[in-house]
Every structure is written in C-alpha cells, then in structure tokens.
Structure 1
Amino acid sequence: MATPTKAVERLMADCHLPASLAHHRPGALSGGQQRRLALARALARRPEVLLLDEPTAGLDAALRDEITALLRRLATEHGLAVVMASHDPDVVEKCADMVVALATGDAPYAPYVPGAPYVPGAPSAPRSRPPNAPITLPEGLRAENLHVAFSHRGHTHQALAGADFHAPTGSATGITGPSGCGKTTLLRTLAGLQAPQSGTLTWDGRPLPAPVRKRSRDMQRRIQFVPQNPLGALNPARTIGATLARPLRLHRIVGVREMPARVGGLLDAVGLPGDFAHRYPHELSGGQRQRASIARALATEPDLLLCDEVTSALDPATATAVLDLLAHLRATRQLTLVLVSHETDLIGGYTDTVHLLRGGRVVRPAAPCEDAASA
C-alpha cells in the first residue's frame, strides 16, 4: 500500500504537476496549475463519476492536450464516467463520446471598430489591429529586475527572476507564455498584490510602492486588477449592485444619491442590463460575471487595467466579445491595458505588443503566430 506522500506524488504526476509544488500554498500556483490541482484533489477520492467545469480553461495548447489525454485514459482504465462542460470544441471532439450542446438566446457583442458606437447585437468576429494603433508612448507603468520566490517548508519556487516590463501610457500590451511561467505573478506584482523580494516599480517616472497598502488612495484607484476567476472579485454574499457600489463609496467617486445611477451606468458600459444590479454572482453566466468583474474595476475610474486570462473560461464568441469590450473601453476612456493570456493569436489583434514570459523573465516580444506552448 502506497504511503500518503507517494499517493500525493502519483496524483500530481497524473495531472502533470511537479512534485515540488506539493509544498506550496495554492496562492503560489498559476491559474492553470490550480485547475490541475483541483482535478488531482477530485481524483484522490477515487470517484465513479467526475463532474468537470471547464477543466482545460487557462491552459496552453500542450497542457490542454495532455489533460484531455489524461481524462480519456482515466475513463478507460478506471471505468470512470466523466461529464465535462467546455467552451472549446477541439477539447470536446478529442475527449467526448457524446455531446450535448446548450444554446442561449443572448446575442454576442458586435466587434468594436475604432470611431464607431459600441452596440451589442451582431455576431462577433475576429478583429485585426487598428492601423493607427500607438506603438510607443512615454512613461506609464514600468517594472525593472523583479524577483519573486515562494517558499514553504524548505522548498522554494522562483516565479519571477529579473523580470522587466513596460506598459506605455495609452497602450495595450499583451503577456503570454506557458502555464506556470509567472504570468499571474507578474500581474499581481504590478497590481501591488504580491510583494517582490527585489526590483523596482515606477508610474509615469515616479516610484510606485510595491505593496498596494503603501500606495496612496489615488494610486490604488488608478491601477485596477481583473482576476482570471471573476468570482475572486465578486463577493458571493453581495448583489452585483452592492459590489459595484463599494469602490464608488471607498474612493468617494459619487455621493449616496448618485450611487444607483452610477451603478446602472457601469453595468451599461459593459453591456449588462440595469436589473443585474439586483442579482448575485451565481445567477450570472461566466461571460456575464467577467463583464461584472470588469465593471467593478471601472468603478474607480482607473487609468490602467491589468487583466489576467479574462477569456480563459469563455467560448470563442464570448471571449472575442469581452476583448471587443476592452478595446472599446480603452478607446473611449483612454485606458492603458495589460492583457495576460496563453492564446497569443487571440490577444494579438487587440494589443500593440505581445511579450513572451519564460523562466520568470520577459525574454522577447512574441511572434504574431507563436503559441504559449512553444515558449
């Protein structure tokens, strides 16, 4: 009989997780690693039926194919019944014996064209980069020589190793790379949610404190983070309206009397009906929750949005619609955008530059058709 330690190592190996990560807390793992950890935890119970909600979301193409093959093997070798919800037709085709397609009456958003009004309705389509998109602009957010390591029980994982990054004012900058390469850690460090062991941050040429609690209220307002999992930004015990009202109140954006109108305006800005203010997060679809999460970030009237894999669990049409929304917001609100994604081809048309992160460092701009798995 295998010892608990050996059993844990075997489960992690089955889900393509390094054994060393067993000693780290979940917060030190990337979004893709957290999804594989959740799969390993479910398998530890030796189930007969496995219910999986978007198990490959947030994974690069190589890991997605490995997890798909793993699920097929588990189903065959262990007589396991797998019910999987997925927006990815390629995963479904490779993995499923039977497919049930669920449809919705909601029409996806029309692609945004610079200079045109943003109107929901027509089917969304792939979008090419605007011909007059800015390439280089001065100042903005800059990080130099960032080092971040996670240690637990004598084990150390180096997430960032001398990472440099620059998001010029008014630009849209992409960050790509394989699962676990440090994309989320870099974004959380820029947001002030993860303190680096060393390195510097500047905003418009002025020093920017690394921990968010040491930043001024105005700097906290101007830099906002949109997490990969929208439920991380939406309190399940609060209505969407209450969630949007909280930053309005904390940063004194509007008075109490103007609060309902501003909440309605935020919902309208992200294409959600006004009555969604009375709904709870669990009553929204994945795409609607992501838009609500973006609305929460917009409540403070920020200058910079840091978006972490905001399309990873969305179907292609909804993913394109969310990126169209961000492009519209960038144009109309003069926002600076940083988009993290393992899908270079998806964000390439919405950004001025896409940087490749590998081994905890930004090594070079990513080629237009280079996928994260090739890093």
Structure 2
Amino acid sequence: MPLDVILEILVWLPAKSALRFKCVCKEWYNLINTPLFAILHVNKSLKPDSRHNRILLCDANFSISIVDDLYDPLKWIKLNWPKDTITNKLDIIYIVGSCNGLVCFEVTIRQNWTNDTTRFHNKVRCFLICNPTTRTFKSILPCSETKWTNDRISYGFGYDSKHNDYKIVGTRSCWRVDDGERHVFIYSLKTDLWSSPTPFTHVSTERRCWTNIKSVAILVNEMLHYLVSLVTEGRINEYKIARFDVVSEKWRDDLRLPVQVNGYVGVGNLDGRLYLHVGEYLIKSSDIWMMEEYGSWNKMFHLPKAVYKLLPIALSKDGSHRLFIHDDYDNTVELFWYDQRDNTRIPFKLKRSGRSGLYKLCIASLVAIPGGCSLTELQQLEKGAY
C-alpha cells in the first residue's frame, strides 16, 4: 500500500491508538513520529465531527489530574510530574492554556510580603509545557527581565502557525490608556528564549485605567483575549475584550461586548469559539453569547441557574448538550451535561476526592515538545544513563 494512503488512514486513529501502531513496523514508527503526521492528526482532531478523544484536566490539591476520554469517564488519573518541579506544599499549579494538545501550566510559590506570616504573594517558580497524551514535559524558567508577581500579570498560551511555534505571553493586568503602553513579555518554545516586543499604543486619548479581570488569557483564532474593565470611583462602568495577536506579537483593536452588562460576565473558549457568559446578580439565570463568525456575536443558550455557579467547558459533538461545572462553594464540584431542549442534566460521574480546581479541555495529540523529555528519560538522566 502506498505510504500516502497509509498516512491518510492512520491520521483517523485516536492518538493512543496511533501510539500503539508505532510498534507495527519501522516504517509506521518513522511515519507516526514525523511532524507532518502530528499536524495532520491535530487538524483532524479539531474538526467538529471528529471522534478523537478530548481530555479533561483539573488542577487541584497542588497537582494535575486528567480524564483521558471525555465520553468514557472512568476515573481521574494523576499526572506524574518531574520530581524536582514541585517540591513544596506551598507550590500552586495553574492551567495557563492549551493548544493543539499541548498544555501550559504555571507553577507558583507563595512567599511572605514581609515578616508578617499572614501575608503572602505568589511568585512564579517555572512554567511547564506538557503533552498529556505522550507524557512529555519541558520546564521553563520565568522571564528574568521583569519583577512582576503573579498578582499583577496575566499569562496566555498560544500557537503561531506562521512560524510553527508555541508561545507563552505575559502582560500587565492593569494599564492606563494615556501612557500608551501594555507591556508584554513572550517566550518562544522554538527558540527557547524570552523577548519583549514593542509596546502597544492605544488610539484613545482618554485618561482611563483598564484592569484585566482574569489572570489567564483565552486563545481563539491565534489571538489571546483579555476581558478588561474600566473602574471609576470604585465601580465598573464598562467592559471590553483586549486582543493580542500571537503571530504578529502586536495588540489589535479591542472587541466590544454584544450586550450591556449589569452583573456578572465571563469569557472563555468552547471548542475553538469565543463565548461570553452574562447575567444579572438578582436574576437566577444567565445567557451564553457565542461568536459564530469572528467579531459577530449570537445569543445561543439560556441557563436557568445562578450565573456565578456555572462554568461552560465544552460542547458535545452533536451540539445538543453542554458540559458545565457546578460549584456550591463547599469544596464539592458537580460535572454534568446540560440539554437545554428539555432542561435536563446528565451526571458526569468520576471517582475523585479532594477540593475543586480549574477545569480545562484539550485534544489528544502527538505534537512533540522541542527540548522536552518524558519522566522516564528524566529519571535516566538523573542516574547518568545518557
């Protein structure tokens, strides 16, 4: 059978099956290990009708757990991180973002402001770029050019298709329009270096200060999206979405929200589309606005539940159900598929203990991490095997 035909067949396999098929013969091993195969497999996985596995991750109890198949939720599996990465119980793990099957984590350590043991701030220890499917990792030290703490910086993780590069983007959480700058620091996985491109100059001349509401940026269409607010006299009177282009490394024009917000608002990514979660605090329901075509909003779903207790995670493949997290503020989390056609909920039961954390969805892929290694390889390196 011609090699191109074999390639076309193999990219339809789930990632775990493709990994097992590497043992068939040397030809298949070399084929599945190529960057071309990884790219084709990712493109197939990202299609709406793809049956490839989707992975659910949770950062809680200072560790990361995963569910390998969203449609076969047997149990949570704890990822075995490199031993020298997380060594202190004060270390906290945050999911920065995921892209093409790679996931970026921020590892921070709590430190005292002064001698007062009751006051802490977070300092970034390192970043981890991980492929949960191949169990490979790369540890990245934070940028040495900045003294920002975790409390004053927002991070994002994205893919630059033009240069086939993955990037970590850090930007200040607060900026004034009149000073014309939003300082940015960027890590390139391809070059393994941090850089600081030219600051962005805003077109407005109004003397106003915008604050980023979330510490993590949302990646859609190779742009990082930041929900920002304008605070005047202690009150929020305007929202918008700031955008950073991962490819050109420049700020783009801001996006306006499709509706006036008088209460809660959240922003996120549902299978590659930007969404807004909007509701009023005194009304026990909320709406999901989705961006059908980039820049065009459409109100898609109405949720009959207190807005601040629900977090959308993913769309089902057939488009009929929605996965949400229900947080009762008592260290318990309920996951369920919600079907708005008949207002029913399908429980998503998993064997799990411990407090709740942040949930993130990613695809299963075979994308390689330049300079990365598996835990087994790391242990062999420590023993001097190489």
Structure with more relative contact order (C-alpha pairs < 8 Å, separation 6 or more): 1
- TM-score norm. by structure 2 comes to 0.25
- TM-score norm. by structure 1 comes to 0.26
Please state which structure has a larger fraction of its residues in helix: 1
Please state which structure has a larger fraction of its residues in strand: 2
